Chain A
Amino acid sequence: MSNRTIVELLDANTYEPVNATFIEGVSKEELVTTDRVWRTFLATILKERSGLSLNQFATWDEYCVAAYREIYQRTGTVDNLPENPHWEWQSKLQAIGDVGYVFGIEYEEQIQCLLLVRTDRTCRLTDKFGKPLVYLDYLATAPWNQPELVSPPRLRGCGKTMIRAAIQWSIDRGWEGRIGLHSLPSAENFYRDKRICGMTDLGIDENYERLRYFEMSATQARDFFERSKK
């Protein structure tokens, strides 16, 4: 079942509002199309930076490994490239099964951002330990919305809007806005900073590739959700 509503985002060039479509329940067909479109766009960038073409390789994954290696050898870094070029959204949703749900933001007939959440995880915060929360499993913006890839990007605000949507979804389910996630090191400050997400840092998770685990309580969710009213 898919529900669609209008959501405003920011044009990254003009900072003018644009009307996008928020999709609750992105379809399998849309995920397959998005994988293809995002990869096609990223392949153009990788070709520019590496000199290698996708059609030189048997698979997308082989191409990414070779192109990333070539770019690393040319520039000394791959930090400004996506960490998730091999993600296949349709496969990920299928692997999670009934507890998985995908949100999307569509603009100009293209998916701009995807968030895969799951509902089978529970709180680690002491006062709500064991209570259900919305766990953010995968979150990615389209390559043309990533400032490290495209300057300026097309839209701003996709990722934050997705977090807001996850909180709202948690509220709608009666879970008071509770969400949880494991953060990559580069994103820790974003989630921890009280001026931004203000989530509780529950430390390194030894059982999850030593990533820091963050949770947002009901109070923190309210603060995050209503920040523009302050």
Chain B
Amino acid sequence: MNLKDNVEWLLSFEQHDEPLGILTHADRRELEQRRAMQEAQIAVPNPQIETANERKTATSQEEKITHPHEEGK
């Protein structure tokens, strides 16, 4: 793998640079998880009065939504 002069090459970007963190990719499952996670966050009206058991149940339900099986990908 020829990656010579990489710093010189990287610095040529600095003028138009953007955060490295944007360089992520996602497939259908990843996005569905993300969206379901955000929806679940919005759907919880008042977590301060949530009991431990309710929290556990809610988390379990979210798991079904946000973490489907890896198979079928």
21 contacts between A and B (CB under 8 A): A61-B67, A65-B59, A68-B41, A69-B40, A69-B44, A84-B24, A87-B30, A139-B24, A140-B23, A140-B24, A141-B20, A159-B20, A160-B10, A160-B23, A184-B25, A189-B18, A195-B16, A196-B13, A209-B27, A227-B12, A228-B11
B49 at the interface (CB under 8 A from A): no
Chain B residues positioned under 8 Å from A181 (CB to CB): 25
Instruction: Give the secondary structure class of A's interface.
Output: mixed
B1-30 residues at the A interface, CB under 8 angstroms: 1-3, 5-13, 15-16, 18-28, 30
Q: A91–B70 contact, CB under 8 A?
A: yes
Q: Enumerate chain A interface residues (CB-CB to B < 8 A).
A: 3, 5, 7-10, 17, 22, 24, 57, 61-62, 65-66, 68-70, 72-73, 78, 82-84, 86-87, 91, 95, 136-141, 145-149, 153, 156-165, 168-169, 172, 181-184, 186-187, 189-190, 193, 195-196, 208-209, 211, 227-228, 230
How far, in Å, is A215 (CB) from chain B's closest CB? 14
